[in-house]
Amino acid sequence: MKTRSSSARLDSKPAGSFALCAVLVATTLLVGGCVNSTEMKIDSLAKPTAEEAISYKIHNANPAVSEDTLRHQEAVGFVRTALSGKGMYETTDADKADVVVDLEYGVGPPKLQRETVQDPVYMTLPGQARVERVQVGTDKNGNPIFSTVTVQEPPRTELVGYRDRIIETIVYEKHLRLSAKDNKPAAEGQPPSEIWTIDVTSEGETHDLRKTLPILAAASIDYIGKDSHGEKVIRLKDTDKDIAFIKKGM
């Protein structure tokens, strides 16, 4: 049996086939290279001397969360790594720690989120009519005979406006709160003073806190011991170096 060479087979393909292949390859690369990102709100407060506190011990601020669970141990690990990113360390002697870092995290109840989007509205309009002079025959002497005819152009589609459409989605708020307090006993009934605090939240369709916690912890790194001067909106890609740092751990 004879077979044609690959070059012969390629030469036999029409140019359109190569164009189609190029489009398919480009589409595959775009889809495969898609990187997700997470939008978060972050709000932090800090005293001017907050960065001087470098040793800490972690305290579970939510009594409803068991410290023996895998999720809590993972959360503690993420926070330890985030704190280490700012040069802080967990002291082996808890009594000598500069601050006690209260850790709280969780998922809020489902919320109905409504978003208004605008869909384009198109209308098919009839084509314009025009008059043309065309030859319809010849006379007995062979001279052309002309007549006028009406020619209808093909219909066209035009954008005529936009229509509002409401999209309803169930979302969940995931949150992480870190609050560093002076590692000193209460004096005269007053609790230890707060050195710095960070609140990070993210809303989305997933309620998977285990997946979201390392992202929330990564977002907190740059705000540990700093004042954000109000709520900030930030976005981290899945490939962000801080997320990789948190997931790698200490």
Helix axes 70-84, 241-248, angle to 10 degrees: 120
> Tell me, what amino acid is at 248?
K
Determine the longest span between alpha carbons in the chain, in angstroms: 124
147 burial class (0-12, 13-18, 19+ CB within 10 angstroms)? exposed
Using DSSP's 3-state secondary structure scheme, residue 102 falls into: strand
Residue 7 is predicted with a pLDDT of 39
Using DSSP's 3-state secondary structure scheme, residue 110 falls into: coil
CA distances from 81 to 77, 84, 110, 126 (A): 6, 5, 30, 66
Residue 188 is predicted with a pLDDT of 74
**Average pLDDT of each block of 10 consecutive residues along the chain (250 residues)?**
39 43 45 75 96 94 90 95 96 91 96 95 91 88 89 92 96 97 83 94 94 96 96 95 93
Quickly list DSSP for 160-204.
EEEEEEEEEEEEEEEEEEEEEEESS--BTTBPPPEEEEEEEEEEE
CA angle 74, 229, 236 (to 5 degrees): 45
